[in-house]
Amino acid sequence: MTDVTLEAVRKSYGDVDAVEGVDLRVADGEFLVVVGPSGCGKSTTLRLIAGLETATAGTIRMGETDVTGVEPADRNVAMVFQNYALYPHMTARRNITFGTGSSTSFTDAEIEERVREAAEALDITDLLDRKPAALSGGERQRVALGRALVRDPDVFLLDEPLSNLDAKLRIKMRAELAKLHEEFGTTTVYVTHDQTEAMTLGDRVVVMDDGEIQQVAPPQELYDYPATQFVAEFIGDPAMNTLPVVVDRRDGRPVATHAAFSLPLPGTGDTVPEGPAVLGVRPEHLSVANGDGEPAGNPIEATVTVTEPLGDSLLIECRAGDDAFRVEAEPRLGLVSGDTVRVRYDPERLHLFAADTGEALYHSDTGRRRGAATPVDPDPA
């Protein structure tokens, strides 16, 4: 195993920068997930680590070795592709062992033993004599993983390996990948566009957009403290609501004012910046007042436009003024389009982002600005 370091790595295709100045370190034994929308540069970053693409600028190191210009075969990495890349005329066993004799120092007996161990770990022992056409999508994916495992690489690189599987099988394979990493402990970089995969698999998650890293953090930190509005809207399902507001002071306390409502914000002048901003609040941190007396806090009056029953909850799209937002409510409220509702919010789960740059300015549960060393007491004595 080894660590992987990228320093100011850039990849350009003519005048287009697919990856722009990426700085990243993957710790020895870490499971790092890179997530982002199509075209954000995540797969290009993975291919740069593998050596399948040549960096336009910057340095890539594995351990203490500079591998920026090293051929893929000499990097001791194993890559699992989205389309599995299996030879259709070879059995699963032959696909797993193909090239191992020439690219590794293992003896034939050692290769057979590694195949046996990998097949047992992946539960494909009974499939080794079948060709890919006789295997399901999940079984082909296991064979592709087996081919990577037998090479004993320093680094695993996985490029959207579950995207071709149905939803139920993806969930099962996610669990198996987590178990495999726990068992083998190999440094792993996993690329996906699915933020659920990112949140469930990664020790840390890298969020990319337009060739740049937006944030690198453990999954819960991404959810609780998004560094930018892009991260806030990308991480979480359903996505965080974002609404334009102006922050000012009333009786010495900060208030976020929207065209249709005003929300008092926990904090002080030191923790909540004044001026135009974007208010962020997740649907699960909103609720509908049930009519039993006046709701606590300062409710938002809104009009229901769409309801989406989810079984365990009811996702409601509401409109306040010209802006829409979603609320995750109790499942049996019986609301229909056109109903007026009063929406309560959790004051400890509000966020503010800069209106011009999208940078995080404030998270109400800590009253801290982005990058502050310690939380600021919102009510200092």
Report, as ranges of residue numbers, the positions in the chain whose pLDDT lies below 50. Answer: 293-295, 367-381
Q: Residue 221's pLDDT is what?
A: 94
Residue 293 φ then ψ, to 5°: 85, 180
Q: Residue 374's pLDDT is what?
A: 32
Query: Cα separation of 35 and 204, whole Å?
Result: 11
- Paired sense of beta strands 57-62 and 340-345, if any: unpaired
Q: Residue 334's pLDDT is what?
A: 87
Q: Residue 290's pLDDT is what?
A: 67
In this prediction the pTM is 0.86
Element (H, E) at 31: strand 31-35
What domains can you pick out in the chain, each with its CATH number? Answer: 4-229 (3.40.50.300), 231-363 (2.40.50.140)
Residue among 113, 107, 199, 180 nearest 141 (CA):
180
Please say whether the beta carbons of 197 and 33 come within 8 A: yes
What is the residue type of 163?
S
Q: Residue 104's pLDDT is what?
A: 64
Query: Cα separation of 152 and 186, whole Å?
Result: 9
Query: Cα separation of 272 and 259, whole Å?
Result: 19
Q: Residue 269's pLDDT is what?
A: 66
Q: Residue 100's pLDDT is what?
A: 78
The SS3 call for residue 377 is: coil
